[in-house]
Amino acid sequence: MNKKEVYQILKRTLLMLICVVFSHSLPAQQHVVSGSVRDVNGAGLPGVSILVKGTTVGTITDAQGRYSISAGSDATLQFSFIGYVTQEVAVGNRSVIDMILEEDIQQLGEVVVTALGIERSQKALQSSITKVPGVGLTTARENSLGNAMQGRVAGVNISRSQTGVAGSSRVIIRGNKSLGGSNQPLYVIDGVPMDNTQFGQVGLWGGTDQGDGLTSLNPDDIESITVLKGAAAAALYGSRGGYGVINITTKRGTQRKGIGMEFNSNYVFEKVYRLDDLQEEYGPGGLKLDPANPSGPRIFSKPASQLEAWNWGNGSMWGPKYDGSMVYQFDGVQRPYSFAGDNWERFYKTGTSWTNSFAVTGGGERQTFRFSFSDLKDTYIIPLQGFNRKNLSLTTNGKFGKRFTFNAKVMYSNEKTKNRSLLNDSPANVPYAIWGLARNVNVMDLYGDPNKPGAVPVGTITPDLKKPGEEFSQASSQFTQNPWWAAYQMTNQNIRERFITSGELRYNIFDWLYVQGRVGMDYYTRNSNILVPQGTGYLRNGSKDHTTSFVKELNLEWIIGADKTIGNINVNAFMGANKMTHESETMDVLGQVFNIPFFPSITNTNQKNIFYGYTKTGINSLFGSVEIGYKRFLYITATGRNDWFSVLNPLSNNKFYPSLGGSFVFTDAFKGLPEFLNFGKLRAAWGQVATANVGAYSIQPTYMLYGGGHLGLPMGIYSFGDLIPNPNLKPALSSEIEFGTDLKLFGGRVGFEFTYYTQRTTNDILAATVSQTTGFNSTSINIGELTNHGYEILLSGTPVQGTVTWDVSLNIAHNKNKVVELAPGIDRVFIDEPRTRAAGVYHLKGYPYGMILGFVQKTDPATGKKVYDAQGRPVRSDVYEILGNGVAKFTGGLSNTLTWKSFALDFLIDYKFGGDLYSGTEVNLTNWGLHKQTLAYREGGMPVEGVIQTGTDSNGNPVYEPFSKTLNQEETRNYWSYVTSYAQERFVYDASFIKLRQIQLEYRLPQKLLTKTPFTNGSISAVGRNLWILYRNTDNIDPESTYTSGSAQGVEQFAMPTTRSYGFNLRVTF
Amino acid sequence: MKHILKLAMSILLILIFTAGCDTDELHNLNINPNAVTEIDMNFFMTTAILGMASAGPLVDNRNTDYTNLGFAGHAIQHFAGTGTSAGDKYFEENISNVWQYFYRDSPKYAAEIIKQTGPGGIYEGKQVNTRSAARIIRPFWMHRLTDFYGNIPYSEAHRGIEGIYQPKYDKQKDIYIDCLKELDEACAAFNASDMDYPNFAKADFLFHGDVEKWKKFGYSLMLRLAMRVSNVDPGLAANYVTKAVAGGTMAGNGDNAWAQMAMGPYNWVNQNGLSRSLWPGDGGLWSSNLFSKTFIDILKGSDPSSTADDDPRLYIFTQGPIKWSATDLGVILEPDPLKWIGLPVGYDASMINNEYGGGNPVTPYEHFCAINTKMLRIDAPYLLMYAAESEFLKAEAILRNIGTVPGTAQSHYEAGVRLAMQMYTPLDPSFTVTDARVDTYLSQYPYDEANALEQIGTQLWISKFLMWWDSWSDWRRTGYPVLVEVNYPGNATGGKIPRKFLYPPAEAAGNPNFADGATKPDKMTTRVWWDGGSD
């Protein structure tokens, strides 16, 4: 049975299920009751369970605290919520029942899922933990969970890589803590870690973003997300929680009568958000001798032949002003020498994304279940690019006898990503080709063969003598792609099939003592193929690559725990052990040179080369935690964990790390506090986490054989690539202290949370750049040290309450990072460089993580004037100078909810300040004469004033003299060429931005409309994401532009254009 | 009681599980199932030899040959182009390809062989021939690197595994002294009766274990190195010229070092990188590397209106202008050799249009000679060292009275010309040049004692076709032939052919030993030690 058939069957089953429910007739006396549940401060309470007393019929409130349930007029509704006094109300004839729940001082406060999935009272928490309800992520959607969280949590800095559909995102909690590590948090689903391997980034030579693990998740399955920020909070997750933990709680079935269903449909359009603003006055061309003055300087000239047009076909807008005369183009056809109109509009299409999710829940006293299915179909702005995802999940929770409980879960996802874009460098880079195209050319004229977009049509002779069916190149550089060819012919595909499964069994030995065992597995296979078709400029014989891999992570865990109250003292303690293994295997077959013309199968290739990779690593751990509470206002918690790492030398492979913290609810401890102070807590925590950022098999030198050998002879190589092994590595240690307070004021209408933290990583493991004369590029060393200090503020309030209610919350985070130590004698570590190769990202001792360095125009230290050469061109600095830092210092968001009757308006504004962006796009646009800044003095007359070096003094220091010159056309062209090669400070922008990230207007269908339908609740919303950049300092690009979610932040070049999306969401339950 | 029993059992279970937190099982996870801790050094020998023919398994083999062709081939004016680059019009360029890829390829594997067969190594005292070959391969690369850049890390290079992460710089003079010593010792140590000989013979796809040929390779290289320092250290030169000649350099074209390349399995690794750099089927850049006027004029001889006085190699190197695509493999556009011309050096497209098109656009490849497609089979053998060079160097040594060399300058010169003209048959059988044809050439252009140094330099220059890197070094040393220097606007050398590569910025910024050890100033006009620069 193939996949298609499986889905067919699945679809039929679901349809049948829907029919069964629809035909289910409700008892005549039953009617629908709806309303909202709020706390005494008027804030909606999500997750309140509402039960028809004496039955198993129940529901829970949504994120705004709203609910609806069907009940008889004689029924009594029971509202219960942990931490609040349970209330009962007789229904009578009412169809709307609004309820206010009071906090139960006898009970603990709101519970939060913390380490290992253990629920703890919020009052007892010593470190900052932020909870994001799942509903906020489902109405207006993103394909990746990472992007969806942007701006929502103080202290979480999310960078979306602009790499097209299903790209990866960089999620940094409280700053970068490791020089060499990923710095990405650990994602945990219901207590089981998930693999978030990034399978490939766009780099110096281009390539695709192969996505990360976060695209596998169905947002409709997410009940809530808890972000554990501090080391103390994450300590129990072990080393992989060292960069923070994102804890995902999925939805479960609830005890109810019959079967409950939810259906959600979301349809959005995706369009390019135009930021490009290029010159439209001068056409393609170059410098030629002036026929009127052949011995004089050269002048800008139009293409005089097909060959010249082809030579200037991409990125050479250095011709004269458009004059409408007929000139040759790349295809030998003469067309007017004038701006050909908007090629972006012609090429980029409107993408669409359609998600349908369906869930069934049910259960009785002993067991509940939830089954969900979701289907996402996304087509992107580039033809043929798309992302399809199907998710299935089944969760069940049960209780056997008095003392056994269990839960089990299977989540399956099938992700198919088509034609991820190659970015940055030019090969197969569609945005590059569109940006650089000569602007007197209509991109439709590049379409070529109508049956094979981008191919040479029959009858056209190209300067590179390509045959019909081969790539129709617009430019002489064989690395410049025809955008249609890149989109339609240079195809690639990934399919990931993933199972995340877990099972948990708990036995309550006594009421206060339990043992629990848990097994979790994340297993997936990935199949990728990449086609470079025959006839492609830079690889004319073509190639096809197939990669198959699997990743398996297995976690086995035992816990024994106790929870006992004696008098005023409550003790909650547990200890346990975890054994993690992570295994991956990759088989890659690269076939080259097709035999049968234009038949793109790997079986049709002449040469095949095989690459094989395998790694397995493991971590064994022991851990424990003791929390002591006194009178429910004073809590002390201590934890400890010891990890043993397989990747390290057994002599130094383990580390014990503790945490200690306390919280004090002073509003509960003291009487007689001012009345406006409803709740107040002080908290402090200290914690450590050990990490071991070391790949498998990289502590001792070993040898292996290379691929296919040569002439049948085996070729010996080192097995460790370019990273010299180091047997003396030990775990790095991150220590963090945080202090904070949580306050609720004025009847809860104002909330305030503040946290200050200071963090230090020592013995950080980093790949230190070594001289290539060693024969290698780098080695892992254990000497790095870096610090992060910062604060987080969350201000929330309800300024307006009544018919119209306005809830607002503002989060602000500031992080200051410093690289304290790299290694003796090393003051910088290379991370990556952009394609311009005139700048790079480095860790620089004494500066924040990831500094952007590059050549700048030299300055005379005495006068501060810029240095020029005799031709009036900028002279570059001797070495790379500091240009900026790509990591924003301030991040946050402002979220608003306005409700009025059945309407709710949500909008989220987010911002980042204090980061820089080096734009390779702007460098190229300037060098190509497309940037508007190249318009001034283009026809000559540019004044240049500065100094020129005339010699050196006796100490060898340069001697400068004043210099001025008026540049002619040729000199102006050369001036810009040198600016773009050397004066890189001209291309560094303040990357600060404020964006309207999300807006949604929801209309809840009135109950009277729904009573005649099987639906119990319904809403329809207009949604939009990434709609508007309210503030930016960049010219032609989005300040968030980047092609990587890796460590090299703050550089970009020809990433995908920014997009905005808008559409509709429909949600019904029945 | 029942509860206590349950509790005890639960705790027991946990203890059983947790007892194994730091176990062999965990340690064994870190043993790579696909790697070994010891390997036969002959497997490294194959890798090291392959790496001599452009790059080995490290990288696309074109990366290094782009420098060979695009920089050196243009700088010494076998080729010309209409673009602006370091080799062509002397624009400033960081040529770091060779630094990045040579250091991390062939000489690294040679260094590992030398280490593991040397004191304290796994194969100490064994694999004598493998060791000797490695001691030839390492100088083969290291002398090239120092020729390009000047002072470079040598004695501490390739010792990263020992913990030397930022090697010190050695003076070029010291590198030459050590390379010559290594060659001397290596050649003496070859021993065909060594126990491990069969394994070496199998792995050695250059000479298939023929130690006599390895020795000739070693002594030929020694002669090259000795002559290279002859302008600045005549004593060192004389000593090793004598040794090399006595040891026996390559005597015939049968001794030449051709590394056999293959179609697969991987074009980046197994194919001929030089062919690939030009082959249009694989994105090669043949049409931007057309023959220069300087080169074609010399090959066409003194009478441009006659083919009778042409150098026979003209017809090996080129077929005139061609049209070449993946499907039209070298269609000849101009069958009449009298009309063949080379592209003048230092011209850009508009200058070409002006001079050859009367102001109208000219397609360069339709006008100027391109490389003969027959030279560029992508599995063609890759030429590493050849006998003619030794003959030319011997002729020069006799003329300049360096060391003890038997014979006369004329006899060696004429032998060199013959060998050079007849050495291309491994590329294509049609490249045969008969003895009679060589004799005709030698009678048309007889040896002339008065201009012998220029004749030798020019012949050496022609014979270094395919090995432009080394030709650039020859030219810097001898000054022959006299090349056309161009002063294109914006060039970085004041119109002088570059004499040194710039060090890679990453090395200059990253290696603290750079500041005191490197050859300064780091400019393309700075001369290295043997070129008359400071030591």
pLDDT of residue B9: 67
**Across the interface, do B103 and A620 touch by the CB < 8 Å criterion?**
no
Q: Which helix (H) or strand (E) holds A265?
A: strand A260-272
| Per-residue model confidence (pLDDT) at position A104 | 58
Residues of A in contact with B43 (CB under 8 A): 703, 705, 714-716
- 8 Å CB contact of A715 and B56: yes
pLDDT, tens digit, 9 for 90 and up, residues A931-964: 999 999 999 999 999 999 998 888 878 899 999 9
Higher confidence at residue A10 or residue A565? A565
Sign of the dihedral through C-alpha A474, A478, A480, A481: positive
pLDDT (tens digit, 9 = 90+) per residue, A438-462?
999 999 999 999 999 999 999 898 8
pLDDT at A108: 38
Lowest mean pLDDT among A776-780, A1000-1004, B58-62, B176-180: B58-62
Cβ pair A581:B109 closer than 8 A: no
On the question of pLDDT at A293 being above 60, the answer is: yes
pLDDT in tens, A646-672: 999 999 999 999 999 999 999 888 888
Q: How far is B243 from chain A (nearest CA, A)?
A: 30
Q: A420 near A484, Cβ under 8 Å?
A: no
CB A729 within 8 A of CB A648: yes
Q: Could you tell me if B308 lies within 8 Å of chain A, comparing CB atoms?
A: no
The overall average pLDDT reported for chain A is 89
Alpha-carbon gap: A704 to the closest alpha carbon of chain B (Å): 5
Contact A577 B17 (CB under 8 A): yes
Mean pLDDT within B131-145: 97
Which pLDDT band, with edges at 50, 70 and 90, does A1030 fall under? very high
Mutate: best of A556, A771, A882, partner B, most B CBs <10 A: A771
Q: Is the pLDDT of residue A284 over 60?
A: yes
Q: Testing the interface with B: which of A205, A312, A773, A969 to mutate, by most B Cβ within 10 A?
A: A773
Give the pLDDT confidence score for residue A526 in this predicted structure. 96
Who among B265, B327, B505 is closest to A609 (CB)? B265
Q: What is the pLDDT of residues B69-96, one digit of tens each?
A: 999 999 999 999 988 889 999 988 888 8
H or E element that contains A814: strand A804-821
Would you call B283 and A879 a contact, using CB atoms and an 8 Å cutoff? no
**∠ CA B355-B357-B359, rounded to 5°:** 80
State the Cα–Cα distance between residues A408 and A397, nearest whole angstrom: 7
Lowest mean pLDDT among A288-297, A555-564, B15-24: B15-24
Q: Is the pLDDT of residue A10 over 60?
A: no
Give me the residue from B27, B40, B490 closest to A646, CB to CB.
B27
The CA distances from residue B260 to A269, A712, A828, in Å, are 57, 12, 42
Convert the pLDDT of each residue in A806-845 to its tens digit: 999 999 999 999 999 988 777 888 888 888 888 999 999 9
Query: How far is the alpha carbon of A814 from chain B, nearest alpha carbon, in Å?
Result: 32
Give me the pLDDT at residue A23, please: 38
Looking at residue A25, the DSSP 8-state letter turns out to be P
**Chain A positions in Cβ-Cβ contact with residue B56 (cut-off 8 Å):** 715
Token couple for A849: 């993580």
Instruction: Say how many CB pairs under 8 Å bridge A and B.
Output: 275
Q: Which of residues 272-301 of B touch A (CB under 8 A)?
A: 280-283
- Is B198 in the A-facing interface, judged by CB distances under 8 Å? no
The CA–CA distances, whole Å, from B29 to A238, A619, B24 equal 19, 10, 9
Measured CA to CA, the distance from residue A596 to residue A581 in angstroms comes to 45
Residue A82 binned pLDDT confidence (cut-offs 50, 70, 90): low
**Res. A27 pLDDT band, cuts 50 70 90:** very low
Chain B interface, mutation test: which of A536, A614, A710, A722, most B Cβ atoms within 10 Å? A710
pLDDT tens per residue across span A379-411: 999 999 999 999 999 999 998 888 899 999 999
What is the chain B residue with the closest CA to A977? B490
**pLDDT confidence of residue A365:** 79
User: Which residues of chain B lie closer than 8 angstroms to A879, CB-CB?
Assistant: 505, 508-509
Is residue B19 pLDDT above 60, yes or no? no
Q: Looking at the predicted structure, is the pLDDT value of residue B274 above 60?
A: yes
Mean pLDDT across the stretch A332-340? 96
pLDDT of residue A52: 83
**Beta strand residue intervals within B51-210, DSSP E:** 79-80
pLDDT at A722 > cutoff 70: yes
Q: Which two tokens stand for residue A1063?
A: 């559409």
Nearest-Cα distance to chain A for B510, in Å, is 7
The H-assigned helical ranges of A149-282 are 231-234
Shortest Cα distance, chain A CAs vs residue B223, angstroms: 26
CB contact under 8 A, B108 and A620: no
Q: How many CB atoms lie within 10 A of CB A516?
A: 23
Domain ranges of chain B: 41-268+379-531
pLDDT over 50 (residue A19): no
CA dihedral A279, A1049, A854, A885 (to 10 degrees): 100
Q: What is the pLDDT of residue A16?
A: 43
- pLDDT reading at A275 higher than 90: yes
The pLDDT of residue A105: 45
Q: Is it the case that residue B20 has pLDDT exceeding 90?
A: no
Pick among A772, A827, A873 to test the B interface (most B CBs inside 10 A): A772
Chain A positions in Cβ-Cβ contact with residue B157 (cut-off 8 Å) = 773-775
Contact A646 B31 (CB under 8 A): no
Residue A678: which of A754, A756, A755, A742 has the closest Cα? A742
Q: Which of B103, B74, B463 is nearest to B292 (CA)?
A: B74
* Pairwise CA distance, residues B305 & B315, whole Å: 16
The dihedral built from the CA positions of residue B298, B302, B303 and B309, taken in this order, carries a sign that is: negative
| Res A688 pLDDT > 90 | yes
* Residue of B3, B16, B26 to mutate, testing the A interface (most A Cβ within 10 Å of its Cβ): B26
**Per-residue pLDDT, A100:** 79
| Angle, in degrees to the nearest 10, between helices B234-247 and B172-189 | 20
Set of chain A residues whose Cβ sits within 8 Å of the Cβ of B366: none
- Of the candidates B10, B263, B507, which has its C-beta nearest A772's C-beta? B507
The pTM score is 0.85
Touching check for B2 and chain A: CB below 8 Å?
A: no
Closest CA relative to residue B215, chosen from B259, B255, B268, B242? B255
pLDDT tens profile B164-188: 999 999 999 999 999 999 999 999 9
Average pLDDT value over all residues in chain B: 92
B249 close to B243: Cβ distance less than 8 angstroms? no
A696 contact residues in B (CB cutoff 8 A): 29-30, 32
Band (A4; pLDDT cuts 50, 70, 90): low
DSSP assignment of A950-983 equals EEE-TTS-EEEEEEEEEE-HHHHHHHHHHHHHT-
The predicted-structure confidence for B432-478, as pLDDT tens digits, reads as follows 999 999 999 999 999 999 999 999 999 999 999 999 999 999 999 99
- B331 CA to chain A: closest CA distance, Å? 12
The rounded percent of chain A whose pLDDT value lies above 90 is 58
Looking at residue A26, its pLDDT comes to: 38
Closest CA in chain B for residue A285: B350
- Dump pLDDT digits (tens) for A120-156: 677 777 777 788 877 777 777 888 888 888 888 888 9
List the structure tokens of A337.
């020498």
- In this complex, the residue of B11, B31, B361 whose CB is nearest that of residue A308 is B361
- The class (CATH top level) of B41-268+379-531 is mainly alpha
Stronger pLDDT, A703 or A153, i.e. the higher one: A703
Residues of A within 8 A of B323 (CB-CB) are 465
How many helices (H) and strands (E) chain B has is answered by 26, 6
ipTM comes to 0.93
For residue A500, which of A149, A221, A235, A240 has the smallest C-alpha distance? Answer: A221
CB contact under 8 A, B282 and A724: no
Mean pLDDT across the stretch A81-108?
A: 72
Is the pLDDT assigned to residue B5 strictly greater than 80? no
pLDDT at residue B255, as a whole number: 97
Decide if A713 and B46 are in contact by the 8 Å CB cutoff. yes
| Residue ranges of domains in chain A, CATH in brackets | 3-107 (2.60.40.1120), 135-271+352-419+490-694+729-850+886-918+993-1032+1035-1069 (2.40.170.20), 695-728 (no CATH)
Instruction: Please judge whether A711 and B262 are an interchain contact, meaning their C-beta atoms are less than 8 angstroms apart.
Output: yes
pLDDT score, position A106: 39
Cβ–Cβ gap A771/B507 under 8 Å: yes
Average pLDDT over residues A226-253: 86
